[in-house]
Amino acid sequence: MAALLEVSDITVRFGGLTAVDRVSFGLEPGQICALIGPNGAGKTTLFNAIAGNAVIEGGRIVFRGSEIQGLTPHEISARGIRRTFQTGGLFGHLTALENVLVGLHTEIASDFFGLLLGSRRSHQAEVAATARARDLLALMDIAALADHPADALSGGQQRMVEIVRALATNPPLLLLDEPAVGLAPAARDKLTQIIRRLARETNLGILLIEHAIELVMDVSDRVIVLNDGKKVADAPPAAVRADKAVLEAYLGHA
Amino acid sequence: MQRSASDGAARAVVSRRVLWIVPILLLPLPLLLNPYQQYVINLVLVYVPVAIGFNVVVGNLGLLAFSNVAFFGIGAYTAGILMVRLGLPWWVAVPPAALMGAVAGCAASVPALRGVRLFYLAIMTLAFGELMRWVYIRWIPVTGGSFGMALPPPDLFGWSLDSEAGKFYVFLGLVLVAIIATDRILRSRFGRAFVAIKSDELAAAAMGVPTNRYITLGFAWGGAVVGVGGAMYAALIGHLSPPAFDLTELILEFAIIMVGGLGSLVGSVIGAVIITAAPEFFHELPGYQELLFGILIVLVILFLPRGLASLLARAHPLFRDRYDRG
Amino acid sequence: MILSQLVISGVATGMLYALIALSMTVGYRATTVVNFGHGDIVMMGAYAMLFLAVGVGMPFPLALALAASGLFLFGFLMQRGLMAPIIAGPHLSLAIMALAVGYALRGVARIEWGNDILLLPRPYAQNAFLLGPVVITMDDLVITGSVLLLLLLLFVVFNVTRIGKVIQAVFQTQRGAQLVGINVPAFHCIMWGAGTTLGTAGGVLLALIVPLTPDMGVWTLVRGFAAMTLGGFGSLHGAVIGGVLLGLMEKLLGFYVSTVFIDISGYLITILVLLIRPQGLFGQHATLRV
């Protein structure tokens, strides 16, 4: 199977600190891969590097056959890599529905001057997108939240809306940055189911940063362990659990 | 649940048409007012587009830009210079005023594109505004310098607009165009992208929004609308001079959008109605306007941070702007 | 000869800018909020001095002490009552709040004194000395001397006294300060007041050489910003050096290139520095994004 994402020898430095040090890995469509490691291991920096939010010093990132390093975040997003954020990723000033509509931004065919002049085509594009955004919320059983301002939603509801928004354009790759943080156990279980269902049914590749280790072991096909910016393990969950280097990574920093 | 929500949306669309009654009710106004009262109403109409453009940048895009008076002055002087130096009729000078406003908007967005934000952006755009005022003072052959520039009476397709009533109808038309056009943009993916940038720039980019391009677009649209306001100002006052575009003017414009409501079209209109007319009552009492406006802004920030528009929105859904629920 | 004359008067003007920029920096460093009303506070300080010294007829030192304490109280209460309640809110509200306070002050000054052109009578003879071919006025000496004295005082306070060291520590990390039991909101109020007090000193010196108008705040604010930006926003010594450089630039460019630079050096510096080197000469902030 052709790899969805191929990361080779990525290095990111902040001043004298090497946050990500020659990390390589690949991801297949439909695969769920977790990134774990102690705080400061470089997980989020690696995400930022893939999403175009960090300056990459060396290495290549190939997504669906073309290099994407050096592209801006919105270009990378338009190519089909979508992400969620650790905290506060939703647009608090907009409703849940409007958040999803921003997620659809690149697929709405309305143009500026068309809207100004009241063109039917641009208007129709907006109306159609709104209907689609409502459908997307309904697919995740959160249609009722559509017209609520995002910052009035609970943590679990916000996380669901954020995932709907990220997936609005049917991207082939989703980066989830600590999606279970602050979720109640019930919401966490629901999230686990959704992640699994998405990978199985839509062939979505998922890269997941998570501290909730049970969730990681439960849901992922593969686990990559980072420590001090370096990859120290890359194996199925059961194997990682038994890995000495992994234990050291955690115990060494405990 | 979903059903009731979309029913609500449909009702909102229908009832928004009711708002057309406002301009229609305004039509017989010139029959009821004396020329001075009509002048004050016209001044209010001038400040509606000025506030709308300002509010797009500050309220929707969420950028701390103090450059609005520069756009206003550039629109006014563009119209004035074309009328006086090239002898063009006023209505021909309106589109160039909008265009120059948009160009100034693009220029003012450059620091924001380079990552200058918050107080730094405010300071820089403040310097830009003051620099423009200095240009009006020093570019004497073109702008008339400190003495300013007297303008010929405005006209529309050769039809003279020297009466206040004539200006009123033309201004009303331009104001409606500005409101409808801006409303269409703010309700579209463009307006949502503006508010998304205000909420979280990184997340907006991660959703495929080219944030820099939209910042420039917001500034350009704001500048164009404010530029039209400048051209209307030139037609109304008939005389342009640099003190009209100083920091005091900036505070007046801030008062309009803060009292009316940030990020709200309804707010821009209400703010212009309430604030613009006020200085006319203070002609004989210099200083009191500054004192009262200063106190008014302080009170609004402390006790009504979303402005009067938020009160209206609570009173009736008709006045609820959908593009920013801050 | 002309050059040294220009340098002398440039440094004297620059010292005044330095003091104003420094007074803005003190409040900014403590609260990370820029006071857009500071120009009008400087104006108010000058008028307060004028009122006490001329209107009431107090001796100069007493008037100065009262004006400075009055403006300290004003700054303290402004921070306490108006800025503190919204300090966690959007930057826009903070900027406009200060702008509005300044605007109201301008109104007060116009109601009270707006119709007259007022000059603060100098408490010294307006002499001039010849140093070779260079003329040094008493004004130059008084301004430069006063600012140097204040700088020396501040230097001692900041670097020798215990309080100064505490202030420096809080500048570094507010959360840390909170942890060791420093009352950060009170600190904000006191430093904001310290800023307005220093601004008053600047206003009084300014009043010695230019006639007062209620509108002088804008002029002051723009030059203060330019000096702060050039030196590096938030840097105390940067504000001083930036102020002196701005004064020199206005005089030198104004004479050798074109008189327009007397008016626009401040605007140009602000725009160019923020575009090309946002951290200025001594600023620590490499980037301005949050």
Residues of B in contact with A126 (CB under 8 A): 187-189
Closest-CA residue to C98 (of C84, C112, C115, C88): C84
Specify whether the CB–CB gap between C231 and C59 falls below 8 A.
no
pLDDT value, residue C122: 87
For residue range C46-69, list pLDDT tens digits in order: 999 999 999 899 999 999 999 999
Helix axis angle, C216-231 to C236-256, nearest 10°: 110
Residue C17 sits at the vertex; the CA angle it makes with B140 and C241, to the nearest 5 degrees, is: 120
In whole angstroms, what is the distance from residue A177 CA to residue A196 CA? 16
Closest-CA residue to B84 (of B142, B18, B21): B142
pLDDT value, residue B320: 74
At residue C204 the predicted structure's pLDDT band, cuts being 50, 70 and 90, is: very high
Please state the domain extents for chain B.
Answer: 35-246
For residue range C251-265, list pLDDT tens digits in order: 999 999 888 888 889
Average pLDDT over residues C183-197: 94
pLDDT value, residue A251: 58
In whole angstroms, what is the distance from residue C24 CA to residue B166 CA? 50
Whether chain A has a CB inside 8 Å of the CB on B215: the answer is no
CA distances from B275 to A39, B22, B260 (A): 53, 19, 9
Say yes or no to pLDDT of A1 above 60: no
For residue C138, being part of any structural domain is answered with yes
Which other chains touch chain B, taking contact as 3+ CB pairs less than 8 Å apart? A, C
Cβ separation A122–B188 shorter than 8 A: yes
Average pLDDT over residues B8-29: 73
Kindly report the three-state secondary structure assignment for every residue of chain C: CHHHHHHHHHHHHHHHHHHHHHHHHHHHHHHCCCCCCHHHHHHHHHHHHHHHHHHCCCCHHHHHHHHHHHHHHHHHHHHHHHHHHHCCCCHHHHHHHHHHHHHHHHHHHHHHHCCCCECCCCCCCCCEEEECCEEEEHHHHHHHHHHHHHHHHHHHHHHCCHHHHHHHHHHHCHHHHHHCCCCHHHHHHHHHHHHHHHHHHHHHHHHHHCCECCCHHHHHHHHHHHHHHHHCCCCHHHHHHHHHHHHHHHHHHHHHCCCHHHHHHHHHHHHHHHHHCCCCCCCCCCCCCC
Which other chains touch chain C, taking contact as 3+ CB pairs less than 8 Å apart? B
Cβ separation B200–A143 shorter than 8 A: no
Phi, psi of B5, rounded to the nearest 5 degrees = -65, -45
Count of structural domains, chain C: 1
For residue C281, being part of any structural domain is answered with no
Residue among C100, C102, C270 minimizing CB distance to B124: C270
Residue among B2, B203, B217 minimizing CB distance to A91: B203
Predicted structure pTM score: 0.92
pLDDT value, residue C168: 85
Residue among B126, B254, B287 minimizing CB distance to C111: B287
In whole angstroms, what is the distance from residue B135 CA to residue A220 CA? 64
Q: Which two tokens stand for residue A142?
A: 């959160």
Specify whether the CB–CB gap between A24 and A8 falls below 8 A.
yes
CA distances from C212 to A220, C42, C121 (A): 73, 11, 12
Range(s) of the domain holding residue C60: 2-276
Average pLDDT over residues C84-97: 93
Please state the domain extents for chain A.
Answer: 5-88+171-253, 91-152
Q: What are residue A226's DSSP bridge partners?
A: A231
For residue range A220-231, list pLDDT tens digits in order: 999 999 999 999
Residue among B131, B289, B301 minimizing CB distance to C107: B289
Say yes or no to pLDDT of B303 above 60: yes
For residue range B239-282, list pLDDT tens digits in order: 999 999 998 899 999 999 999 999 999 999 999 999 998 877 78
Kindly report the three-state secondary structure assignment for every residue of chain B: CHHHHHHHHHHHHHHHHHHHHHHHHHCCHHHHCCHHHHHHHHHHHHHHHHHHHHHHHHHHCCCCCCCHHHHHHHHHHHHHHHHHHCCCCHHHHHHHHHHHHHHHHHHHHHHHHCCCCHHHHHHHHHHHHHHHHHHHHHCHHHHCHHHCEECCCCEECCEECCCHHHHHHHHHHHHHHHHHHHHHHHCCHHHHHHHHHHHCHHHHHHCCCCHHHHHHHHHHHHHHHHHHHHHHHHHHHCEECHHHHCHHHHHHHHHHHHHHCCCCHHHHHHHHHHHHHHHHHHCCCCCHHHHHHHHHHHHHHHHCCCHHHHHHHHHCHHHCCCCCCC
Closest-CA residue to B74 (of B54, B91, B52, B96): B96
In whole angstroms, what is the distance from residue C286 CA to residue A144 CA? 45
Whether chain B has a CB inside 8 Å of the CB on A22: the answer is no
Residues of A in contact with B188 (CB under 8 A): 108, 110, 115, 122, 126
Mean pLDDT score of chain B, rounded to an integer? Answer: 89
Across B264-291, b (16+ Cβ under 10 Å) vs e yields bbbbbbbbbbbbbeeeeebeeeebebbb
Cα nearest neighbour of B322 on chain A: A94
Specify whether the CB–CB gap between C209 and C139 falls below 8 A.
yes
- Interchain CB contacts (distance < 8 Å): B and C: 140
Say yes or no to pLDDT of C163 above 90: no
Whether chain A has a CB inside 8 Å of the CB on B48: the answer is no
Cβ separation B210–A143 shorter than 8 A: no
State the best of B61, B116, B120, B259 to mutate against chain C, taking most chain C CBs within 10 Å. B120
Q: Which two tokens stand for residue A136?
A: 């997307």
Closest-CA residue to C140 (of C132, C152, C151, C130): C130
- Interchain CB contacts (distance < 8 Å): A and B: 114
CATH code assigned at C271: 1.10.3470
Average pLDDT over residues C217-242: 92
At residue C133 the predicted structure's pLDDT band, cuts being 50, 70 and 90, is: confident
Residues of C in contact with B278 (CB under 8 A): none
For residue C261, being part of any structural domain is answered with yes
Cβ separation B185–A112 shorter than 8 A: yes
Q: In this predicted model, which residue has the larger pLDDT, B284 or C152?
A: C152
Cβ separation C110–B290 shorter than 8 A: yes
Residue among C260, C268, C274 minimizing CB distance to B111: C274
For residue range B103-160, list pLDDT tens digits in order: 999 999 998 888 888 888 999 999 999 999 999 999 999 999 889 999 999 988 877 8
pLDDT value, residue A137: 95
pLDDT value, residue B294: 94
Cβ separation C266–B127 shorter than 8 A: yes
For residue C289, being part of any structural domain is answered with no
The minimum CA-CA distance between C216 and chain B, rounded to whole Å, is: 11
For residue C290, being part of any structural domain is answered with no
pLDDT value, residue C286: 41
At residue B4 the predicted structure's pLDDT band, cuts being 50, 70 and 90, is: very low
Cβ separation A110–B6 shorter than 8 A: no
For residue C86, being part of any structural domain is answered with yes
How, if at all, do strands B239-240 and B149-150 pair?
A: antiparallel
For residue C284, being part of any structural domain is answered with no
Q: Which two tokens stand for residue B238?
A: 């008939």
Phi, psi of A58, rounded to the nearest 5 degrees = -155, 160
Specify whether the CB–CB gap between B307 and B300 falls below 8 A.
yes
The minimum CA-CA distance between B53 and chain C, rounded to whole Å, is: 17
Mean pLDDT score of chain A, rounded to an integer? Answer: 90
pLDDT value, residue B14: 53
> Tokens 């203070």 correspond to what residue?
B282
pLDDT value, residue B323: 58
Residue among A91, A115, A129 minimizing CB distance to B195: A91
In whole angstroms, what is the distance from residue A189 CA to residue A147 CA? 25
Cβ separation B127–C222 shorter than 8 A: yes
Residue C146 sits at the vertex; the CA angle it makes with C141 and C149, to the nearest 5 degrees, is: 120
The minimum CA-CA distance between C272 and chain B, rounded to whole Å, is: 9
For residue range C6-32, list pLDDT tens digits in order: 999 999 999 999 999 999 999 999 999
In whole angstroms, what is the distance from residue C37 CA to residue C99 CA? 5
At residue A168 the predicted structure's pLDDT band, cuts being 50, 70 and 90, is: very high
What's the start-to-end Cα distance of chain B, in Å? 24
Rg from Cα positions in chain A: 19
Kindly report the three-state secondary structure assignment for every residue of chain A: CCCCEEEEEEEEEECCEEEEEEEEEEECCCCEEEEECCCCCCHHHHHHHHHCCCCCCEEEEEECCEECCCCCHHHHHHHCEEECCCCCCCCCCCEHHHHHHHHCHHHCCCCHHHHHCCCHHHHHHHHHHHHHHHHHHHHCCCHHHCCCEHHHCCHHHHHHHHHHHHHCCCCCEEEEECCCCCCCHHHHHHHHHHHHHHHHHHCCEEEEECCCHHHHHHHCCEEEEEECCEEEEEECHHHHHCCHHHHHHHHHHC
Closest-CA residue to C202 (of C52, C61, C74, C46): C46
Residues of A in contact with B189 (CB under 8 A): 101-102, 104-105, 108, 110, 126, 129
**Second CATH level (architecture) for the domain A5-88+171-253:** 3-Layer(aba) Sandwich (3.40)
Contacts of B109 (CB under 8 A, 6+ apart): B215, B216, B218, B219, B220
In whole angstroms, what is the distance from residue A179 CA to residue A85 CA? 8
Mean pLDDT score of chain C, rounded to an integer? Answer: 90
Say yes or no to pLDDT of A13 above 60: yes
Closest-CA residue to C204 (of C56, C75, C79, C19): C19
Q: Which two tokens stand for residue B250?
A: 């900036």
pLDDT value, residue B6: 45
